[in-house]
A and B are shown apart, each in its own frame.
Chain A
Amino acid sequence: MSPGAALRIREMVKKEFRQLLRDPRTRAIIFVSPIIQLLMFGYAVNTDIRHTPTFVVDHDGSADSRQLIDAFVASGYFDVVGRSGRPADLVYALDHGQALLGLEIPLHFARDLAVGRASVQIILDGTESNSATVAQGYAQRIVQRFALSRVAAAGTVPSGGVDLRARAWYNPNLESRVYNVPAVIGMLIMLMCLLLTALAVVRERELGTLDQLRVSPLSPTELMLGKTLPVAVVGLIDLAAVTLLAILWFDIPMRGAPHVMLIAAVLYILAGLAIGLLISTVSRTQQEAFMSMFLFFQPAIILSGFFYPIESMPTVFQWITLLNPVRHFLEIVRAVFLKDAGVLSLWPQYLALLLLAAVVLRVAVVRFPRSMAG
């Protein structure tokens, strides 16, 4: 690089830093909002099914029916939020979203149980199909255990059969937060990169300052570097802050080495900035840039494996996710946090991020002068 180019880039970087850090509102967005967001969303991203609000209609009112209800409560998965003798109340509770699960124990439950022909009804609010599926599994298991304990008490243990002993690795209590908080980190960093770059070029174009830069010896590549470096630094600072917060506040174990994460972070941030700059270069107005940014960000989150495992998506979408930097970064972050994965085992993800960053940055630079000609 020529000394002239180095000087030009340095001045652009200084200018960008000044513009980023001068306005207290922008400073707040850059340094405070990620922390607040992680604090909020770290608690929000909880898919553990515990304390499911449950409404009980016990027509029998026997000792047996009460024991069954107790078994539900004792499991910790269900909280009884209401009891009644009338099924209409159960309908009301589910309609109003006061309960997600209804347990209806019919009359003569105790009598039927004695002869081995009892049945109970479990009613679920399917509008939360995710929770409903899991709650259904828990409820059935509780009923099954209850039944088994009765059989055992009667001394007629059914012989044979197969029992499943499940053990979860990396996250023995299957806490969803351990898995989701690292994903939130990836999401927040991508958002920050986009927010700080997607409007960067188009804004200068609308304000007319871009022409002033374009008549100067500053080349498109130098301009892109000048815009990228300050945001990359900001992104790394943010990443360090939220990572520390995840470890210290949310007690997410960080099993891997920091440098494994750092390499990934640099590549990921570069990819994010490249996408932001590309959006900014091809957009004609800031409004358009804003919408395009969202048009990228929302699918990128959905197709990242954050909420929903990629292997369950249709094959076409599985292919598309390969182009999604968020997907690769989440894989790395989760592996680093939970599995102590090393640099070597993560090379496909590193390579994917590197390729994405390089290609998109290149396209942004190439598109830059051309889009100006009109």
Chain B
Amino acid sequence: MPSDAVSALGLTKRFGDFVAVDRVSFDVATGEIFGFLGPNGAGKTTTIKMLNGLLRPSSGSATVAGFDVITKADVVKRSIGYMSQAFSLYGDLTVVENIQLFAGLYGVTGGAFAERRDWVLEMAGLSAHRHRLTSELSLGWKQRLALGCAVLHQPPILFLDEPTSGVDPVSRRQFWDLIYDLAEAGTTVFVSTHYMEEAEYCNRLALMNRGRLIALDRPRELRQALDDPLFELHSDDAALAVEALRGLPVVLEASMFGRAVHVLVKDREQATRDVPEALAIAGRTCADLREVEPALEDVFVALVRREGGAVVG
């Protein structure tokens, strides 16, 4: 039995002429938090759906917990927990009724059921609200309940598809604490996100764009792979500043980074001269120009550029 929790080989999904996922291959080690990063429409959800048996791959193959996802779908289903992008518990059932349903579907009964139920209620902070209709809960609560229902049967592998989208930052932080706890207990967590800062929490990251896997490594290594110097500056109008800089010969890539502007350049000295000058000509201010450590977002933008494509989404 292979030690990899998840293994994909040339996984491809076509919808008509559109290639949603294009020959994606990777391995996820047992106990890892494996991040799937990319903008909306990059093919993250499609990949996850192929891995958990919701979609049939057009070509390629994959194993989850050592079992082929196509031929051994039944066994795979028992080994995984899945939390989808959209909230997908029953709004017209109460908290406890939802837990009961999924416990039953996964064969969690008797003493184990009571124990797991109480664990989920505790974990999600819903003990006092166990008889409330799920539709009345706040989004953060719903997400934690959904996570709880996905791990009721203590699956060795957990798929989380953008679990925190739309959730406020505090709830997001709490949610990631839960993910860490699960990983520490030995669960392999396969999580997709389009929040770059969340990606930093992962052991390893796969970057996806337009259906293709464009990089796969630890977050630190990914950042170091970007060997061109990166500058940050502030301007009175960041968007116009980016536009003004994109034409410069020394500039490889200019992009907005929060309220600041990030500029990837070919040469340090030339950049410290040319960048302020170009902004002055364009009538824009230029403040706090300094070289910075690249963030994952910079890596992502640079990698997409190197691939010669544009970022979707």
Contact = CB atoms under 8 A, between A and B. Distances in A.
Contact present between A and B (CB < 8 A): yes
Question: Most B CB atoms within 10 A — which of A7, A10, A372, A373?
Answer: A7
B55 A373 contact: yes
B104 A215 contact: no
B77 A215 contact: yes
Interface stretch (A13-21, A137-145, A317-325): A13-21
A373 B93 contact: no
Contacts of A215: 52-54, 77, 80, 82
Contact of B93 (A15, A211, A217, A374): A15
B107 interface: yes
Contact of A10 (B53, B77, B104): B104
A8 interface: yes
Nearest to B53: A215
A208 B91 CA distance: 11
A18 B101 CA distance: 11
A209 B105 contact: no
A373 B87 CA distance: 21
A222 to B, nearest CB: 9
A213 B105 contact: yes
A214 B107 contact: no
A19 B92 contact: yes
B210 to A, nearest CB: 21
A180 B165 CA distance: 57
A165 B212 CA distance: 87
Contacts of B24: none
A209 B109 contact: no
B201 to A, nearest CB: 24
Interface in B1-59: 15, 49, 52-56
A49 B101 CA distance: 56
Contact of B90 (A7, A19, A23, A374): A19
Nearest to A23: B92
Given A7-B109, A19-B92, A372-B54, A216 B87 contact: no
A209 B92 contact: no
Nearest to A209: B88
Contacts of B102: 212, 216
Contacts of B86: 208
A314 interface: no
Given A18-B97, A19-B92, A217 B54 contact: no
A117 interface: no
B250 to A, nearest CB: 48
Contacts of B141: none
A12 to B, nearest CB: 8
A218 B84 contact: no
B88 A4 contact: no
B77 A212 contact: no
B54 A211 contact: yes
A11 B88 contact: no
A208 B78 contact: no
B115 interface: no
A10 B88 CA distance: 20
A164 interface: no
Contacts of A88: none
Given A7-B109, A19-B90, A19-B92, A212 B104 contact: no
Interface in B48-85: 49, 52-56, 74, 77-78, 80, 82, 84
B74 A217 contact: yes
A208 B54 contact: no
Contacts of A218: 105
Nearest to B52: A215
Contacts of A217: 74, 77-78, 105-107
B228 to A, nearest CB: 42
A248 interface: no
B90 A15 contact: yes
Q: Which 3 A-B pairs have the closest CB atoms?
A: A11-B104, A208-B88, A208-B86
16 contacts: A4-B107, A7-B104, A11-B103, A15-B101, A22-B92, A22-B93, A23-B92, A207-B91, A209-B90, A211-B49, A211-B54, A215-B53, A216-B105, A217-B78, A373-B55, A374-B15
Interface of A: 4, 7-8, 10-12, 14-15, 18-19, 22-23, 207-209, 211-218, 372-374
Interface of B: 15, 49, 52-56, 74, 77-78, 80, 82, 84, 86-93, 97, 100-107, 109, 149
